[in-house]
């Protein structure tokens, strides 16, 4: 049986604080998670939840207090595993005296490509992230969004099997975000595993096979976005127009008017009765749609709870 792309077992990180290092703050609490080959996994959580700590532990930048993790079957303290992974840190900084081309060439040297291969790869990846025209500009003149693109290019330059991206959409405009989404999607098509942390829930909903929600260092839930938000219908939303001079009955006083159109949310069991009332008062029904909880609702619900409070979601990987 082949190993999972990422296997994390009981990973815990404590930081010692204070002058005498006598206070302990737990940043990550017994994280257990398994991510399969070819999966796109979104790691969600509010600021300070432990997302970046998890990524730094997996990269070997910090060392766990307890627990273990393996990437592509190798323990994370084996430097050989780094040949198989790509990593984009949160708000990346690079050697600003280098040009984008020089920086990528520098990183490509650690993958042992010869000079012709390096040149070809660097050009291809500069093109991929939309920086071909700025290839020879020093990074100190780059905007935050451009640095983010360089960061993504260096993370995938060597065709890694597993790509770790810490807030990859951060600092990007809508077009940039769309391009990064496409890059991540293409990585999946190529069979690579992508593990990324994000605050932008719509990106996670669009891209991820599964997401995990981390709150105060504890994993609160893991599952497919559709599983997390469930198909349960909270209410029905009716959008309608009223002819001039007509008034709504008192039972529809809750209806709100936006841009000349009205909408009202009613419980599913009252849908047909409400539609009858609207028809009687001469309203023109434009649409009827179910209101379902979003991933954001689920996320906010978890983030607002104490970590110890149980949530109706399986907190272990499949």
CB of 181 to other proteins, least distance (A): 22
- Contact of 94 with 144, CB cutoff 8 Å: no
Scan residues 146-185 and list those touching other proteins (CB under 8 A).
151, 154-155, 164
For other proteins, give the closer residue by CB, 51 or 210.
Answer: 51
Candidate list 28, 39, 50, 94; residue touching other proteins; CB under 8 A: 94
Q: Give, as one character, the DSSP assignment of residue 3.
A: P
Residue 110 in contact with other proteins, rule: CB under 8 A: yes
Give whichever of 76 and 236 is closer to other proteins, judged by the CB atom: 76
Q: CA of 81: how far to CAs of 5, 6, 42, 78, 168, in Å?
A: 11, 11, 21, 6, 22
Look at phi and psi of residue 207 and say left if phi exceeds 0, alpha if psi is from -120 to 50, else beta: alpha
Judged by CB under 8 A, does residue 83 bind other proteins?
yes
CB nearer other proteins, residue 15 or residue 26: 15
Per rule CB under 8 A, is residue 113 in the interface with other proteins? no
Closer residue to other proteins, CB minimum distance, 125 or 164: 164
Q: Count the residues of the shown chain that bind other proteins, applying the rule CB under 8 A.
A: 33
Sheet of strand 23-35, all strands in order from the earlier edge strand to the far edge: 23-35, 6-17, 66-71, 74-75
- Return d(Cα 177, Cα 296) in angstroms, integer: 18
Cα of 62 vs its chain's centroid, Å: 22
d(CA 129, CA 149): 6
Nearer to other proteins, 154 or 220 (CB): 154
Give the CA count within 13 Å in the CB-facing half-sphere of 52. 11
Under the criterion CB under 8 A, does residue 299 sit at the interface with other proteins?
no
The token duo for 78 is: 């084996």
Q: How far apart are CA 72 and CA 278, in angstroms?
A: 60
85 is a site residue for other proteins (CB under 8 A): yes
Sketch the per residue contact string, 40 through 79, with other proteins: x for CB under 8 A, - otherwise. ----------------x--xxxxx---------------x
Q: Which of 34, 51, 70, 82 binds other proteins (CB under 8 A)?
A: 82
Which residue of 31, 33, 49, 87 would you call a contact of other proteins, by CB under 8 A?
A: 87
Residue 137 binds other proteins, judged by CB under 8 A: no
């Amino acid at each position: 049986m082949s190993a999972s792309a990422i296997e994390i077992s009981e990973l815990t990180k404590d930081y010692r604080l204070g002058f005498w290092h006598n206070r302990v703050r737990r940043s990550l609490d017994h994280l257990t998670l398994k991510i399969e080959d070819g999966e796109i996994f979104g790691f969600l959580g509010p600021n300070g939840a432990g997302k970046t700590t998890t990524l730094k532990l997996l990269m070997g930048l910090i060392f766990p207090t307890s627990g273990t993790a393996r990437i592509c079957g190798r323990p994370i303290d084996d430097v050989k595993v780094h040949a198989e992974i790509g990593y984009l840190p949160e708000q990346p900084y690079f050697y600003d005296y280098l040009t984008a081309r020089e920086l990528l060439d520098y990183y490509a040297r650690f993958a042992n490509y010869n000079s012709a291969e390096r040149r070809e790869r660097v050009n291809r990846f500069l093109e991929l992230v939309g920086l071909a025209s700025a290839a020879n500009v020093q990074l100190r003149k780059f905007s935050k969004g451009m640095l983010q693109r360089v960061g993504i290019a260096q993370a995938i330059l060597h065709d890694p099997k597993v790509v770790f991206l810490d807030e990859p959409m951060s600092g990007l405009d809508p077009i940039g975000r769309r391009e990064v989404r496409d890059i991540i999607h293409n990585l999946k098509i190529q069979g690579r595993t992508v593990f990324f942390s994000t605050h932008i829930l719509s990106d996670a909903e669009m891209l991820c096979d599964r997401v995990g929600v981390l709150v105060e260092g504890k994993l609160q839930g893991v599952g497919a976005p559709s599983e997390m938000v469930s198909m349960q219908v909270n209410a029905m939303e009716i959008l309608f127009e009223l002819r001039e001079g007509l008034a709504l009955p008192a039972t529809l006083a809750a209806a709100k008017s936006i841009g000349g159109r009205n909408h009202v949310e009613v419980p599913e069991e009252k849908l047909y009765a409400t539609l009858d009332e609207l028809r009687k008062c001469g309203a023109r029904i434009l649409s009827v749609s179910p209101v379902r909880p979003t991933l954001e609702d689920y996320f906010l619900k978890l983030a607002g709870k104490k970590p110890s409070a149980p949530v109706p979601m399986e907190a272990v990987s499949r």
